[in-house]
Amino acid sequence: MIAVGLTFLFLLVAGMPIGYTLGLAGMVGMYTIGGGGRYLAMAPDRFFAGLDLFTFLAMPFFILAGEIMNRSGITDRLIGLADALVGYLRGGMAHSNMLASVMFAGLSGAATADAAAFGNTLVPAMVKKGYTRPFACAVTAAGSIIGPTIPPSNLMVIYGSLMGVSVAGLFAAGILPGLLICLVCMAVIAALGRRLRLPKGTERPSLRIILRAFKDSLAALVMPVMILGAILGGIATPTEAASIAVFYALIMGVFVYRKVSMHDLYEMLVRTSRITGIIFLIIASASIVGWWMTFNQIPQALAKGFLAISENPAVVIALILALLLCIGMFMDINALLIILAPVLAPLTVAIGMDPIHAGVMIVLALNISLMTPPVGACLFVLASVTGEKIERIAKSLWPFLLAEVAVLFLVAYWPDLTLVIPRWFDLAAK
């Protein structure tokens, strides 16, 4: 166990990509078991077995659909609708940023895609209107984690596939927490409005302007409704719904908006392949580590350790959240989910949590890690896109971070918040 830990830390500090780091650490673990390398020969089998899940096919489709819709100019249309609805308030563009994140969440399912899209569009526009660049980046980072919380969510696909939990149920359970994050962050913006002297928007728009903005963005708003409706209605599996989303996005991008060319499609396919390849490499390599952990009964030992501290479910939940938030500050969340989900899921079952509720709690905790230094992916994306320093973004981000952690604890200790919609569709226990 020590050899595996030292190998992992050494390779991570040396800058080795996380996928290779996990794979090599897992192989060291297999070799140290003994048997003259007999177990090490199982590594290739475990590598490919880790990807042998049908629902994983949904991820590249969702990524590609988001790429196509973003290239079609959908982002600008969603921003226009959000601005028409809340842009007249004090801090109106910040409110618009947050509301647009909710709308964009139904297209991308990834926080970094949200951060990159709005970092290129909304952050410069906010700076031009009088907002400081660190504050504009902080608002964008805070809103970006709504993407992988509201369906479709790639993290939920991974969790559901690995743990045998209904992906449809996880999707349904993520809706209310995602909307609550938006409302809480908008409350923070409102509270900071006068103290930071945030610019006030123009006069309240007329109903005609709102309807026109709604009409312009209707095609984008239909897609998440179509995806979720097909899944929850039992019409399509998540993988089938994702492929339908790609077809719909192609129709809109090529024939309706006419902004996607064959060259654009080639670039988007290459980008989707790269993103998917990175995620799948992490999943496959983590399955080797997962097998080694299972062989050594590490999940059971960790569960016993947590329960030895306290058998009170409230205390155990707090320990789980503290573990995820702390480790998430230093490690890629995809790898962290794949390694810790098999460890933590049985523990949540032992304290009586619904599997869907536990899954949303774990995914949301990891999503928050995307905006915490030093390894917050969304912070790095915004820093590279806008040229702002990470430490200045983090300084402006802390009110939003505290608000989202409060939402996380509310989700963790109030099961009905996540389970009410899945229960409507008979996807969770009554």
**With 60 as the cut, is the pLDDT of residue 162 above it?**
yes
Q: Where are the domains of the chain?
A: 50-424
**With 80 as the cut, is the pLDDT of residue 74 above it?**
no
pLDDT digits (tens, 9 = 90+) for 314-363: 999 999 999 898 888 877 787 788 888 888 888 898 899 999 999 999 99
**With 90 as the cut, is the pLDDT of residue 405 above it?**
yes
Q: How confident is the model at residue 294 (pLDDT cuts 50, 70, 90)?
A: confident
Q: How confident is the model at residue 297 (pLDDT cuts 50, 70, 90)?
A: confident
Within a 13 Å sphere around the CA of 163, how many CA atoms are in the beta-carbon half?
33
**With 70 as the cut, is the pLDDT of residue 200 above it?**
yes
pLDDT digits (tens, 9 = 90+) for 393-403: 989 999 999 99
**With 70 as the cut, is the pLDDT of residue 36 above it?**
no
* Overall average pLDDT of the 155-182 stretch: 91
For the ranges 61-75, 291-305, 399-413, the maximum mean pLDDT occurs at 399-413
pLDDT for res 108: 65
Higher pLDDT, 262 or 376: 262
Within a 13 Å sphere around the CA of 45, how many CA atoms are in the beta-carbon half?
7
pLDDT digits (tens, 9 = 90+) for 209-261: 888 888 888 877 887 788 888 887 888 888 888 888 889 888 888 888 888 88
**With 80 as the cut, is the pLDDT of residue 183 above it?**
yes
How many whole angstroms separate alpha carbon 147 and alpha carbon 107?
Answer: 8
H or E element, residue 378: helix 377-386
* Overall average pLDDT of the 259-265 stretch: 87
Q: How confident is the model at residue 375 (pLDDT cuts 50, 70, 90)?
A: low
Q: How confident is the model at residue 191 (pLDDT cuts 50, 70, 90)?
A: very high
How far apart, in Å, do the first and last CA atoms of the chain sit?
41
